[in-house]
Amino acid sequence: MTGSDEEERAVRAAIEGELRLLDPAVRASPEAVTRLLDPEFTEFGASGRRYDRASILAVTSAVDEDAPDPTVATGMSGVLLAPGLVHLTYTTQADGRPVRRSSLWRCSDRGWRLYFHQGTPAGTS
């Protein structure tokens, strides 16, 4: 396996995990979300709040029947920073407001899991 093959597989696994976490059906299932989050997960949300694994489960499992359309990610790309560590960046739109997102995924004996995530509101220009 070449370094680029390893990078491609690692980035693809992280992107697949990230897209699953954006899926409303996955977000509504605490078990599914737990399988995708590292035990040491931390997030700095676009709201400025800090979340850990337990607090993000409360947010993701709160089903809102009147929620807007599912979040759509654009421009997702990734890079293998080190063996077992991938950095993803992309943009989402929520209520007409763009948010730049950054995620760190790490591989363990349980597969690829989200270790860190940050959402930063972006200007409209």
Residue in the structure block whose two tokens are 């979040």:
71
How many helices and strands (H and E) does the chain possess? 4, 6
Which residue is listed with tokens 């363990």? 108
CATH assignment of 3-121, among 3.40.640.10, 3.10.450.50, 3.90.1140.10, 3.40.50.1370: 3.10.450.50
- Predicted TM-score (pTM) of the model is 0.88
Q: Which two tokens stand for residue 83?
A: 């063996």
Provide Rg for the chain, Cα atoms: 14
Reported as a single tens digit per residue, the pLDDT across 60-107 is 877 655 555 678 899 999 999 999 999 999 999 877 889 999 999 999
Average pLDDT over residues 7-29: 94
